Structure 1
Amino acid sequence: MTADTLSRSERIARLNDRARQAMGLACVAVATVGFRSLSEEDKSRVRELVETFDAFTQDNDPYGERDFGAIYLDGEGRWTTTRPAQPAETVFWKIDAYDRDLQFGSDDPANPSVTRRVLTIMLASEY
């Protein structure tokens, strides 16, 4: 399947996957103060789970663009993409598409020549 035959949503999804898998290279990566306050071990594990995230559902990905997800800390101190009954902490990640100057939303998020992606990682409590 070529880029010409992919749907617009699938082109955006693939670009978003690349942004997650190459944070800081294929996108601008930012983290909130709350996320940065986590331990180095926790931040590393969460970033790993963001990079490999595949728990997309109709609830968190209604447009099929793979631009949002949640990571949970369970009661035993393990980070997971599966929501536990009572998460000890929740981290959100979100990808937004901007113009090349990061001034406005992109006119065409499916076109990497006119779009820069920004991936933000934050504690859910900061939302």
Structure 2
Amino acid sequence: MMNKIALLNDAFRNAFRGGKVMMTIGVAELADCVKAEALRQVADFSEFTPENDPHGEHDFGSFDLVGRKFFWKIDYYDKDMRHGSEDPGNPERTLRVLTLMLATEY
């Protein structure tokens, strides 16, 4: 059975609701159609394995698009975005932030 954090991450990532979506400058400078496709790839990502998701939280993924490798990562903050969330499984106390980046920017 999937854990609560993974379920919350999937719900956020599939609809981009319940958190913030950020992109690095390298992604922001790409053509709008490429950014749109990259976000679709994030929303549709389902290739979680024990190797790329060791904690079972569905909080990281990578994919190739237009000859580039992209990474996305979900981090957990308190509602004021001042500190990490003490309870990522509690959406009342956690703000999810998804960052989309080029692998070369990592």
Which TM-score applies when normalising by structure 2? 0.94
- Aligned partner of 2:98 in structure 1 is 119
- 1:42 Cα shift? 1.1
1:1-127 correspondence runs (5 A)? 10-23=3-16, 25-73=17-65, 77=66, 88-127=67-106
Aligned residues: 106
Runs of 4+ in 1 over 6 A off after TM superposition: none
Kindly provide the CA deviation profile for residues 47-97 of structure 1, in whole angstroms up to 9, marking residues without a partner as x.
001001101111210000000000102xxx4xxxxxxxxxx3111000001
Q: Alignment identity in percent?
A: 45
Q: Which structure 1 residue ranges, 5 or more long, are not aligned? A: 1-5, 78-87
Amino acid at match of 2:25: V
Q: Which structure 2 residue ranges, 5 or more long, are not aligned? A: none
Q: Higher helix fraction: Structure 1 or Structure 2?
A: 2
Which TM-score applies when normalising by structure 1? 0.79
- Aligned partner of 1:81 in structure 2 is none
Task: Say what the alpha-carbon RMSD is for the aligned residues.
Answer: 1.3
- 1:125 Cα shift? 0.4
